[in-house]
Structure 1
Amino acid sequence: MSSDYYKDIKHSDRKRWICIYPAYLNSKKTRAEGRKVPLAKAVDTPTVQEMRDVLQASNVTIGIERSFYSRERSKEPQYFGRVRVHLKNDDGTPLNPEFPTRDSVLLHLGEMIPKLKTRTQQKQNTEQQASQSAAASSSKKKGKGRR
């Protein structure tokens, strides 16, 4: 899918890097709303910071840009931004053999974001709060009710 528009621009130029918006990985979105990965691989409300952390840990050259996804209805700060990923050398060969295509990067993000420390700590905190509230509610005495 080589275009004449990009003929004079090298792959190393930032314009040629791929763009990844959080909506591409959001499990709460439909395909029509912009999700690009299968629902099984999607993540619950990913952020640009989480995507940045995963890609930096994978030794991929990235850039963060302040831009809105056109299909995003909410203008909240958590949905703001996109990540640009340097995918190919100037000769067109993959820069990192682990990530030859855009889809491979998206699937890697969908796999690794749930494993982030911030995500696992949030789950543990919510589970502890739920168990504490369940224990507190079970210790209350129940009335006789209606007769």
Structure 2
Amino acid sequence: MADKSEPKPTTFHLVYTVTNIQQRLRTLDGQKLSYHSWVKLFKLHAIGFDVLQHIDGSPAPEVASTEYPAWKKIDAIVLQWIYGTISDKLFDQVLVDESTSYEAWKRGENMFMNNKGSRAATLQYELTNLTLAAMPSLEA
């Protein structure tokens, strides 16, 4: 019969095995790698390393709970993943003191998605007003 006073072995979270996220994820710059592609790749890693709840809006544990310190450490690593896989230009726009990874995730999303409607309207206008005479060739 096991002694109940023995401490449970601590489990080692998978996120601690990632030593260099830049080797696993490409850098989001908005040109060579699109935001949507980066999100797909990032989410694949978040699922694989069991940290998706840090970027999907799941509530954090209460600060007073026993799970909070471990959650906070893992969240800091996910936040480092976000900061480590975006370009310097985007980094300055996403970086905020005392941020959670979800808050940084949402700031990045807002940067790319806030102008979606106006961009779609602009493209629709360009397509509607496109004439064959304006094209350099039939293939274009």
TM-score of the superposed pair, with normalisation by structure 1: 0.28
- 1 or 2, which has the higher strand percentage? 1
Higher relative contact order (CA 8 A, sep 6+): 1
The structure with more helix, counted as a fraction of residues: 2
